[in-house]
A = this chain, B = another copy of it.
Amino acid sequence: MSTKRKADDRGPLKADCLWRDVFNHVTSRWGFLILIALADGPMRFYVLRNRVEGISEKMLSQTLKSLMRHGLISRHVQDSIPPQVTYALTDMGHEIAERLDSVSNWIGDHVAEIARMQTQFDQGPN
């Protein structure tokens, strides 16, 4: 019984629940990177596209929509000619971006060590 309760507590390990669904969107390759990029402040679409290297406009557009739907990003239209559209983290977006940043920074701090492990693994017996 305790194992079951424990498994229920760890939401994303269970399939077919909203937790897993949100998890998959937030931690999708592009979702993760867009949230981290926007932690620097609101950005226009093309600025964001250039920051997140390798993302296509279609994928950026789709991922922004999905993150807006999850309440993590908001879209602001400035009443100018032509209208300027910017994307920004919401309060919830800031909270999760902070946590994703901590994952990303940890990786950055350990890249050399991980590269060493990879070389060791590739040289050793499989």
Contact = CB atoms under 8 A, between A and B. Distances in A.
Size range of the chain A interface in the assembly: 35 or more
A39 to B, nearest CB: 9
Contact of A103 (B15, B27, B69, B115): B27
B32 A107 contact: no
Given A27-B32, A107-B22, A117 B13 contact: no
Most buried by B among A52, A99, A107, A110: A107
Interface in A68-126: 68-71, 92, 95-96, 99-100, 102-104, 106-108, 110-111, 113-118, 120-122
Contacts of A102: 99, 102
The 5 closest A-B pairs by CB, nearest first: A71-B117, A15-B54, A15-B53, A69-B121, A99-B103
Interface of A: 6-7, 10-16, 18-19, 22-24, 26-29, 32-33, 36-37, 40, 51-54, 68-71, 92, 95-96, 99-100, 102-104, 106-108, 110-111, 113-118, 120-122
